[in-house]
Amino acid sequence: MIRLLPPYSFLLIALALSACARSEEIDSSAREVAFLSEDENLIIAFKRTGQVEFLAPIEEGTCYLLGTGSYDADRLIDHDGTIYGYEIEGAELYLDDPTHDLLTGVYRRVNLRSICQARQPDPGENSASVQPLPLSGIEGSGATKKRSAEFDVDEDTIAISVYLFGREVGTRARPTAFLAPDGGNLLVELPDISFCDAGYCALMLPRNEAIPVEPGRYRVEISGPEEYLEEIDARLATRKGAVFDRTRIPLRTVVASTTLTDDEIDQTIDGIVASFEASPYAIELTPTEVVRADAKYAEIVADFRSAAIEELFALGDAKALNLFLIDRAVGIPGLLGLAAGIPSSQGIRGPFNGVIVAVQTHRTGAGVLSTEVLADSSAHELGHALGLFHTTEEDGLLHDPIADTPECLPEHDINGDGSLTAKECEALDGFNMLFWTPVYEDGTFAKQDEISIEQADVLRHAIIGVE
């Protein structure tokens, strides 16, 4: 879902480690506590689980997770194994960074929720293919309760998606069952049917050829604390009719970048269209008018719950793939692109239906832009928006649910750095549109335009597909 330039995770941690580290023992059974650095650029949050989180406040109600670690009575240990001493006295955290001295300092205790509690935007306006999905009352006892929804699917329906929106959806409230007409729990059979991120979850059929849409009654169950279940907005998207020999999908491009010329925009769109035309099935992206957005959105927080994203995505189209070209994503150095979901909320004009692609991270050190690479990154993110996962993730341990996409495994990590590259996987899926990164070891970009037959079958079932 997210593409970064190398050195990938190091960039995120480097941003995190720019302010902090020492403490008296924190009882892990106590409530969570958080501390803010003197320059207000870093929050260290102690979790009940024994985990510690490094967070960067970006804008009101938005914090970016930079990295995680663990803690004991007097030490913090980050994901790389670096140890920081700490001590807590009253409302202050004293942190000692003996390695770099970057994080050494005094941090004051803060209310994490008041700083990082994200707003929940309006999910947006439905098109004719989307309808509200009524939820039951809250059921069960104990701390974790559930709500459910049932809906009937007829024989003409070829694709369904259930969208869930809410402030704690994807974190404290999540779908835990998706019962098919035969009573089987599809989330047990194929967990990847569900995708969740902060504020949004989507359950989608078909995800592959193995589990098609069957006629009958479906049931979705969502579990979590009662206060978070109360505010969930559930919607059902369906597509009826035939699977077309040629499936057309409208593409709406919104340009907030201040650096792209009209020719570069046209070249990028042409490249995106060409990438999907390489599909084994006929997938035709049909560009609509290009919309120029206000320059204030050129640099934007990469959080789909933010007010700026909600305003920008209001320029999208419920019935189209929505591509938003910006200059930079604030808070994620090296970001190439990011999709609002896998899939995005197709059929709804709102903040979870679209992808952002950052133009400036596609420029060389001399400022030269490759529209070919920009088009490839855009096509990759649009593939996510249509419901495709990465064929292979960075470490080679996770793969998509598609049967005919090759899997690049950890043993293909030739240099042993724990990060598979397109070069190391070029005999497998390194050139697939949905491989996790396009970057070679030397910083150049691979041409990634391969789409498997089964990936193409998922694409041609898109909720917004037309003949």
Q: Where are the domains of the chain?
A: 7-116, 125-240, 246-460
Tell me how far apart the alpha carbons of residues 171 and 40 are, in angstroms, rounded to a whole number: 25
pLDDT at 224 over 50: yes
Q: Can you give the pLDDT at residue 1?
A: 63
In this structure, how many other beta carbons lie within 10 angstroms of the beta carbon of residue 155? 10
Reported as half-sphere exposure (CB side, CA atoms, 13 A), residue 99 has a value of 14
pLDDT band, residue 14 (cuts 50/70/90): very low
Q: CA-CA distance, 117 to 225, in Å (whole number)? A: 16
- 456 has pLDDT over 80: yes
pLDDT band at 16 (very low <50, low <70, confident <90, very high): very low
Angle between helices 262-277 and 371-385 (to 10 degrees): 50
Q: How confident is the model at residue 23 (pLDDT cuts 50, 70, 90)?
A: very low
CB contact at 8 A, 350 and 320: no
Cα separation of the two ends of the chain: 28
109 contacts: CB under 8 Å, gap ≥ 6: 33, 34, 35, 36, 91, 92, 93
pLDDT for 259: 96
- List the single range of 33-42, 187-196, 205-214 with lowest mean pLDDT: 33-42
Q: Beta-strand (E) ranges in 183-245?
A: 194-197, 200-205, 216-224, 233-240
Query: Are domains 125-240 and 246-460 of this chain identical in fold?
Result: no
Amino acid (one-letter) located at 254: V
Residue 18 pLDDT > 70: no
Segment among 9-13, 123-127, 425-429 with least mean pLDDT = 9-13
Confidence band of 2 (pLDDT split at 50, 70, 90) = low
DSSP characters for 97-140?
-TTTSSS-EEEEEE-HHHHH--------EE-TTEEE---PPPB-
| Least reliable range by pLDDT among 72-86, 351-365, 371-385 | 72-86
| Residue 11 clears pLDDT 60, i.e. is over it | no
Q: Helix, strand, or coil here: 443?
A: coil
Class (C level, CATH) for 7-116: mainly beta
Say which amino acid occupies 39: D
Of 150 and 141, which is predicted with more confidence? Answer: 150
CATH number of 246-460: 3.40.390.10
pLDDT at residue 24 greater than cutoff 70: no
- Cα–Cα dist 270/9, whole Å: 32
Q: Which CATH architecture has domain 125-240?
A: Sandwich (2.60)
Would you give the DSSP letter of residue 208?
Answer: S
Q: 250 preceded by cis ω (within 30°)?
A: no
Best mean pLDDT range from 85-94, 232-241, 299-308: 232-241
388-419: pLDDT as tens digits: 999 999 999 999 999 999 999 999 999 998 89
**Residue 31: is its pLDDT beyond 90?**
no
Give the closest residue to 1 by CA, choosing from 437, 373, 349.
Answer: 437
- Per-residue model confidence as pLDDT tens digits over 255-286: 999 999 999 999 999 999 999 998 888 899 99
Q: What is the pLDDT of residue 243?
A: 92
The answer to whether 186 and 180 are in contact (CB under 8 A) is yes
- Of 37 and 333, which is predicted with more confidence? 37
Given a cut of 60, is residue 26 above it in pLDDT? no
For 154-265, strand residue ranges (E) read: 157-165, 174-179, 194-197, 200-205, 216-224, 233-240, 246-255
Question: In DSSP terms, which residues pair with 349 in a beta bridge?
Answer: 125
**417 within 8 A of 425, measured Cβ to Cβ:** no
Give the model's pLDDT for residue 28: 35
What digits encode the pLDDT tens for the residues 106-122? Answer: 999 998 877 887 678 89
What average pLDDT does this structure show over 4-9? 47
Q: What percent of the chain shows pLDDT beyond 90?
A: 72
pLDDT at 5: 60
Written as six digits, the tokens of 315 are 């320029």
In whole numbers, what is the pLDDT of the chain averaged over residues?
Answer: 89
Q: What is the mean pLDDT of residues 51-57?
A: 87
